[in-house]
Amino acid sequence: MKVVFLDRDGTLIDESDDGKVDRLDKLAFKPGVFEGLRLLRDHGYELVIVTNQNGIGSDEFPWDAFQRVQDVFLDEMEKHGIRFFDVFICPHLEEERCECRKPAIGLVKNFLWECEVELEKSSMIGDRSTDVRFGANLGVKSFFLSNERFELEEDLREDPEVHVEQVASFSDAVEKILAENLKAGESA
């Protein structure tokens, strides 16, 4: 299967100023995501979220606060005809040095293998350099969404091994994925 891996916060929904989308009033969808995801779906891509959620399970960010928002997020997506094949969540803090926090690929290792993900047809969309590193670690092309909070780190821009393109919006990323999909289809 071909997959578009998606970051959640800052990519599909607004990033929260305090880093936690733990209340419904903080949930805001980014422009163009419903249309974009539907287009990807219609072109045969499976949609998979991979998200780092700092410290879920702590007093400041209990699991039920995360889940309440996530349920509404998924419901809203469903109303727009979008279903995710899977949602992978790293709930750890960076200092816990887990194997599942992006840019590590521990969360999706089994999935890649079990579902026979075609990496050359798959991609990653995110708003941080860690998303691009995650994509590079997977061996897929990444689309970095230009944004005010984070920059694409220079070593990634200049590394010939890292396949990354900086785009202005989610819709632009989708457009480029579909253009490449078309090219691949023609040469096949």
Q: Which residues contact 188 (CB under 8 A, 6 or more apart)?
A: none
- Among residues 6, 77, 100, 174, the one that binds Zn ion under rule CB under 5 A: 100
Question: Which listed option, Mg ion, Zn ion, none, makes contact with residue 101 (CB within 5 to 8 Å by class)?
Answer: Zn ion
Residue count at the site for Zn ion (CB under 5 A)? 5
Mark 115-154 with x for binding to Mg ion (rule: CB under 5 A) and - for no binding.
Answer: ------------x---------------------------
CA–CA separation, 67 and 183 (whole Å): 39
Asked if 159 is an active-site residue, the reply is no
CA–CA separation, 67 and 50 (whole Å): 15
If binding is defined by CB under 5 A, does position 37 make contact with Zn ion? no
Residue 120: CA atoms inside 13 Å, Cβ hemisphere, count?
A: 3
If binding is defined by CB under 5 A, does position 22 make contact with Mg ion? no
Find the length of the chain.
188
Asked if 25 is an active-site residue, the reply is no
Q: Which residues contact 115 (CB under 8 A, 6 or more apart)?
A: 1, 3, 46, 85
If binding is defined by CB under 5 A, does position 102 make contact with Zn ion? no
Residue 149 CB, nearest approach to Mg ion (Å): 9
CA–CA separation, 24 and 180 (whole Å): 36
DSSP, residue by residue, 53-64: -TTTTBTTB-HH
- Among residues 2, 20, 30, 92, the one that binds Zn ion under rule CB under 5 A: 92
- Residues near Mg ion (CB under 5 A) are 7, 9-10, 127
Contact positions vs Zn ion (CB under 5 A): 90, 92, 98, 100-101
Hey, which residues are catalytic here? 7, 9
